[in-house]
């Protein structure tokens, strides 16, 4: 074992990693106190991690995706204890008619903590999942040991260019529409075809009403850093060619989070997680390993 993996492995208890053996994983469906059921990918022993004084890594996916969008990242983190739920309305989670405000989605995430008996987690959010992560850190700071924001917005106020197109959606969602919608996000790296197909299936799993109401929930929310402070250690990963999350917004966001730092991926667009999962894994492991060295 060498390089970043050796650095990461040296700090297993604090950052929620367990043992030299490969950890088992499964998908559990849990009933949340908010009234819905969601599937959660679980890797490793959450109970043992808590007993050892560590915290798992909680992964929050983007709008229109599912926990499976983290497949390639998870494959690069075999020694992390991980919890990755499908958010309300997405993937195989329940799809109620309402409850898609940012605060309600965060309420589901808090209920995931309770369902698994987790008292704290290192939270990574991709794109709008990073918006959920920010709000979680503002409203429930005791639950968040650290934040990693991957292509996360400062604000989602207003209507994105594709909002009108989403509002015209009707059931059943057309596969061609989902496939074409991926063109909203410029990709500069080759992404495996099988991964793209999985994201198409994520889109097809969402009824038109969820596409609409979940987007509205994000766009109508007050930006998290305008409602409170975030004071946990924070790493921001941002693609220099991101046309949805401008650099100025990242600079503003890093200025609002005490001690935050931003790392720029020069040859990458908005979909940092899709394009560079191995590099995200390396930077995450180094970041969490550094936290373990703090007094």
Angle at 210 between CA 271 and CA 188, to 5 degrees: 15
Helix, strand and coil in the chain, % to nearest 5: 40, 15, 40
* Gap between the Cα atoms of 268 and 287, Å rounded: 20
Compute φ and ψ for 94, nearest 5 degrees: -60, 150
Contact 47, 54 (CB under 8 A): no
End-to-end CA distance of the chain: 26
pLDDT at 33 over 50: yes
Domains identified in the chain, total number: 1
Collapsing DSSP to helix, strand or coil, 147 comes out as strand
Bond preceding residue 145 cis, omega within 30 of 0? no
* Gap between the Cα atoms of 68 and 199, Å rounded: 8
Which residue in this structure is represented by tokens 């766009």?
219
pLDDT at 215 over 80: yes
**How do residues 234-265 score in pLDDT, each as one tens digit?**
999 999 999 889 999 999 999 999 989 999 99
Q: pTM for the whole thing?
A: 0.93
- Give the number of other CB atoms < 10 A from CB of residue 180: 11
Contact 119, 143 (CB under 8 A): yes
Compute φ and ψ for 161, nearest 5 degrees: -55, -30
Q: Which residue range forms the structural domain that includes residue 7?
A: 3-292
Contact 34, 46 (CB under 8 A): no
**How do residues 84-141 score in pLDDT, each as one tens digit?**
999 999 999 999 999 999 999 999 999 999 999 999 999 999 999 999 999 999 999 9
Angle at 276 between CA 9 and CA 113, to 5 degrees: 60
Task: Give the pLDDT of residue 21.
Answer: 55
CATH code for the domain in which residue 8 is found: 3.40.50.1820
* Gap between the Cα atoms of 34 and 119, Å rounded: 18
Q: What is the CA radius of gyration of the chain?
A: 18
The chain-wide mean pLDDT, for the chain, equals 91
* Gap between the Cα atoms of 283 and 261, Å rounded: 12
Please classify residue 18 by burial: count the beta carbons closer than 10 Å to its beta carbon, then call 0-12 exposed, 13-18 middle and 19+ buried. Answer: buried
Lowest mean pLDDT among 6-20, 47-61, 266-280: 6-20
Lowest mean pLDDT among 14-28, 132-146, 197-211, 277-291: 14-28
**How do residues 132-184 score in pLDDT, each as one tens digit?**
999 999 999 999 999 999 999 999 988 788 899 999 999 999 999 999 999 88
């Amino acid at each position: 074992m060498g390089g970043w993996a050796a650095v990461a492995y040296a700090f297993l208890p604090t950052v929620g990693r367990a043992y030299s053996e490969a950890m088992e994983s499964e998908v559990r469906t849990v009933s949340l106190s908010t009234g819905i059921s969601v599937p959660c990918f679980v890797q490793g022993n959450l109970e043992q991690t808590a007993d050892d004084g560590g915290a798992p890594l909680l992964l929050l996916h983007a709008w229109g995706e599912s926990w499976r969008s983290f497949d390639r990242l998870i494959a690069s983190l075999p020694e992390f204890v991980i919890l990755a739920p499908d958010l309300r309305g997405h993937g195989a989670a329940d799809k109620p008619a309402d409850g898609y405000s940012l605060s309600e989605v965060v309420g589901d995430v808090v209920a995931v903590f309770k369902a698994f008996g987790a008292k704290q987690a290192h939270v990574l959010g991709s794109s709008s999942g990073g918006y959920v992560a920010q709000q979680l850190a503002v409203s429930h700071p005791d639950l968040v040991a650290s934040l990693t924001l991957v292509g996360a917005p400062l604000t989602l106020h207003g209507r994105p260019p594709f909002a009108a197109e989403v509002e015209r959606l009707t059931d059943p969602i057309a596969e061609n529409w989902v496939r074409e919608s991926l063109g909203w996000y410029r990709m500069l790296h080759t992404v495996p075809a099988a991964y793209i197909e999985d994201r198409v299936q994520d889109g097809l799993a969402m009824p038109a009403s969820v596409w609409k109401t979940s987007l509205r929930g994000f766009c109508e929310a007050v930006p998290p850093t305008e409602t409170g402070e975030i004071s946990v250690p924070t790493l921001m990963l941002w693609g220099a060619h991101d046309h949805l999350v401008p650099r100025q917004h990242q600079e503003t966001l890093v200025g609002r989070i005490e001690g935050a730092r931003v790392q720029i991926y020069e040859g990458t667009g908005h979909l940092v997680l899709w394009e560079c999962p191995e590099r995200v894994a390396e930077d995450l492991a180094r970041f969490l390993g550094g936290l373990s060295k703090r007094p």
